[in-house]
Amino acid sequence: MSDHKKLTNEVGAPVPDNENSITAGPRGPVAMQDVWLMEKMAHFNREVIPERRMHAKGWGAYGKLTVTHDISQYTKAKVLQPGVETELFIRFSTVAGERGAADCERDIRGTAVKFYTEEGNWDLVGNNTPTFFIRDVHNFSDLNRAVKRDPRTGRRSPQNNWDYWTLLPECFHQVTVVMSDRGIPASFRNMHFFGEHTYSFYNEKNERVWCKFHFKTQQGIKNLTNKEAAEINGMDREYHGKDLYEAIERGDYPKWTMYVQIMTEEQAKNHYENPFDITKIWRHAEYPLIEVGVLELNRNPENYFAEVEQAAFTPAHVVPGIGFSPDRFLQGRLFSYGDAQRYRLGVNHNQIPVNRAKVEVNEYHRDGAMRVDGNYGGAPAYTPNSYGVWTAQPEVMEPPLDLEGALYRYDPKDDPTDDCFRAGGDLWRVMTEEQKKALIANTAEDMASVTENIKYRHAAHCYLADPEYGRRFTEAAGLDMDKVVELSKLDHQGLVQATMPDVR
C-alpha cells in the first residue's frame, strides 16, 4: 500500500515535482512531456459540473428518523413502523440563487430528504412552506425564468417576478407566505418543512389514504427582517450553512417532529376543493396533524462536493406503502428530477455513495458512462430469463386507483370550487398584527420598482383574499382604493386586460 502522504498522479505513480514545470533550459518554454502538468490542468478545467437548474445553493447533513408513534393503520412502509430508526441525508437550499448566492435571501427554502430505508431509498423533496406558487407542471420552467435572471440585463427582476406571479392568481397564497416574516428564516434549524404535495399511503390490507407530510422545528421559528438579512449577507454569504455545520459540530443536533395529515378516499371525493391542488392546504382543524416521529441531524458531510453537490433526490423514489397522487404538479416532478440528474451527474449517479441505497440493488440497468461497480458481472442482461434472476415483486403492487374524465387540457380556474384567494386570506386572518405589518411592508418594499399596473393587479388579489389585506397593501403602495375595489369585481381575464401596461 502506498504511503498516503506522498503525491501520485491519477493512476498512483509517484510525482517528483508539483511546482516547477519541465522547461527547455531555465528560462525556456514548457515541454509537452510534463504530463503531470497536463493532467493537472486538464482535470482542473473539468471540475465544474452543471449546477442544479434551481435550488443551486445548498447545504447538507446526515441524521436519522426515529418513529415514535404507530401509523401502521395507514402505511405498511417499514421506515414508518413504530420504533424503526432510519439513516437519512438532507439538503437545504434556496431556490432562485445560483451556486454562489447568499444564504439569507427572501425565498423559499428547499428541504430534500433521502431516507436510506431497508426497502430502498425514499426521497421526500419538499420546501419550508406548505404550499407552492403554481399547480401545473407546464408553468414550472416559466416560474424559474421569472424569478431568475432577466435575459437582457442578466439581473434579477422584481418586475418579472410580480408580472408572472400576478398573472397566475394561484400564486397568491405562496406569495403571501414568501413576503411574510417567514420569507427569510434565521436558520435552517428554525423553520418547519413540508412535503407540500398530497401523497398516498397504503397499508398491509392494501387500503389507500391520501397524506401530507409536515416537519415542525423543535428549535422554534425564528426569522430575519430584510434589514437584518441585508447586514448578514454583506458580512457572511454562507450564514445558514455555517449555522447548521457549527450546531452539529458542537453536538447541538437540530430536531423536527414529523407529522402526517390523513384524508380518506371518500373524504377526498367530497372535499370542498381539489385536495390534490398543491396551491391549497388541508386545514388542520379538519385534518389534524398526527404525530409520527423525530427527525434529527447529527453528522456533517466529510466533503462538500462528494456528498452535497452530488446528492440527487427525486420524488420518484418511493418505497412500498408510500405512493403518489393525481396531483398533476407532482406527476410532472416524477420525470423531471431523474432527467436533470442524468444530465447533471450522469446516468449512473445512483452509484455515488451519498445516493447509493443501503440495500442490495438489482435494477437490470447496465453500462453507461462512469459505471463504477462490477456492472452485474455475468448475470443475465435480459428478462424474462430462465434463471430466476431478478424477478418482479407483485406483493408490493399498489392498490388500483379509479379515475374518471376525458383526456383534455383542463384549466383548474374553470373548476367552480376553485378559489385562488381563500388560503391566502385564511393566512392573513390568523396573522398577528406584527406579522401583518411585516407582510405589508415586505411586499411594498419588494414591489417598489414594479410598474403600477402590476401593483394594482396584486392589490385586487389582496382585496379578494381579505378586504383589510387589500386596503393595507393599497395604502402602503400608494394606490387608489376605489380603483382596487372596481378591479376586484372583474373576473381573472377582465383583471388581466384592465391591468395590461397600455391601460395603466
Task: List residues with catalytic annotation.
Answer: 55, 127
Please give the full DSSP string across 117-132, using - where no structure is assigned: EBTEEEEEEEESSSS-
Shortest distance, CB of residue 324 to ligand HEM, whole angstroms?
13
Q: DSSP character for 139? A: G
Stretch that binds ligand HEM, among 70-78, 108-116, 250-258, 359-367 (CB under 6 A): 108-116
Q: Tell which one of 34, 37, 40, 53 touches ligand HEM (CB under 6 A).
A: 53
Of residues 190-219, which lie at the interface with ligand HEM (CB under 6 A)?
A: 196
Phi/psi of residue 263, nearest 5 degrees? -130, 130
In the three-class reduction of DSSP (H, G, I as helix; E, B as strand; rest coil), residue 194 is classed as strand
Please give the full DSSP string across 456-477, using - where no structure is assigned: HHHHHHHHHH-HHHHHHHHHHT
Of residues 480-499, which lie at the interface with ligand HEM (CB under 6 A)?
A: none
281 binds ligand HEM (CB under 6 A): no
316 binds ligand HEM (CB under 6 A): no
- Shorter beta-carbon distance to ligand HEM: residue 55 or 436: 55
Q: How far apart are CA 481 and CA 474, in angstroms?
A: 6
Count of residues interacting with ligand HEM (CB under 6 A): 28
232 binds ligand HEM (CB under 6 A): no
279 binds ligand HEM (CB under 6 A): no
140 binds ligand HEM (CB under 6 A): yes
Stretch that binds ligand HEM, among 40-48, 168-176, 215-223, 309-317 (CB under 6 A): 309-317
Q: At which residue does the C-alpha cell 401593483 appear?
A: 455
Rg of the chain over Cα atoms, rounded to whole angstroms, equals: 26
Angle among Cα 142, 143, 147 to the nearest 5 degrees reads 115
Shortest distance, CB of residue 194 to ligand HEM, whole angstroms?
7
Task: Give the CA distances from residue 200 to residues 257, 264, 374, in Å, rounded to whole numbers and listed in that order.
Answer: 20, 10, 36
Shortest distance, CB of residue 483 to ligand HEM, whole angstroms?
34
133 binds ligand HEM (CB under 6 A): no
52 binds ligand HEM (CB under 6 A): yes
Q: How far apart are CA 186 and CA 241, in angstroms?
A: 11
Q: Tell which one of 112, 184, 260, 297 touches ligand HEM (CB under 6 A).
A: 112
Shortest distance, CB of residue 112 to ligand HEM, whole angstroms?
4
Cell digits for 404? 374518471
Stretch that binds ligand HEM, among 120-128, 423-431, 434-442, 462-470 (CB under 6 A): 120-128
- Shorter beta-carbon distance to ligand HEM: residue 282 or 313: 313
- Shorter beta-carbon distance to ligand HEM: residue 22 or 137: 137
59 binds ligand HEM (CB under 6 A): no
Please give the full DSSP string across 276-311, using - where no structure is assigned: T-TTS---TTTS--EEEEEEEEEE--S-IIIIIIT-
Stretch that binds ligand HEM, among 16-24, 54-62, 72-80, 222-230 (CB under 6 A): 54-62
- Shorter beta-carbon distance to ligand HEM: residue 127 or 190: 127
Q: At which residue does the C-alpha cell 407566505 appear?
A: 177
- Shorter beta-carbon distance to ligand HEM: residue 93 or 223: 93
Task: Give the CA distances from residue 284 to residues 75, 190, 262, 294, 356, in Å, rounded to whole numbers and listed in that order.
Answer: 20, 21, 10, 20, 36
Q: How far apart are CA 78 and CA 92, in angstroms?
A: 25
**Cβ atoms of 199 and 323 closer than 8 Å:** yes
341 binds ligand HEM (CB under 6 A): yes
Q: How far apart are CA 66 and CA 83, in angstroms?
A: 7
337 binds ligand HEM (CB under 6 A): yes
Q: Tell which one of 22, 84, 137, 334 touches ligand HEM (CB under 6 A).
A: 137
Q: How far apart are CA 469 and CA 436, in angstroms?
A: 8
- Shorter beta-carbon distance to ligand HEM: residue 64 or 91: 91
125 binds ligand HEM (CB under 6 A): yes
Per-residue x/- marks for ligand HEM, 144-163, CB under 6 A? --------------------
Q: Tell which one of 55, 57, 240, 280 touches ligand HEM (CB under 6 A).
A: 55
The residue number whose beta carbon is nearest to ligand HEM equals 110
311 binds ligand HEM (CB under 6 A): yes
In the three-class reduction of DSSP (H, G, I as helix; E, B as strand; rest coil), residue 209 is classed as strand
Q: How many residues make up the chain in this entry?
A: 504
Q: How far apart are CA 101 and CA 224, in angstroms?
A: 17
- Shorter beta-carbon distance to ligand HEM: residue 169 or 195: 195
Q: Tell which one of 257, 271, 290, 332 touches ligand HEM (CB under 6 A).
A: 332
Angle among Cα 374, 377, 379 to the nearest 5 degrees reads 135
91 binds ligand HEM (CB under 6 A): yes
- Shorter beta-carbon distance to ligand HEM: residue 131 or 160: 131
122 binds ligand HEM (CB under 6 A): no
- Minimal CA–CA distance to 217: which of 255, 270, 187? 255
Torsion angle, CA of 237/238/239/242, rounded to 10 degrees? -160
What are the residues whose beta carbons fall under 8 Å from the beta carbon of 39, sequence distance 6 or more? 9, 10
Q: Tell which one of 59, 74, 188, 313 touches ligand HEM (CB under 6 A).
A: 313
Residues that bind ligand HEM (CB under 6 A): 52-55, 58, 91, 93, 110-112, 125-127, 132, 137, 140, 196, 311-313, 329, 332-333, 336-337, 340-341, 344
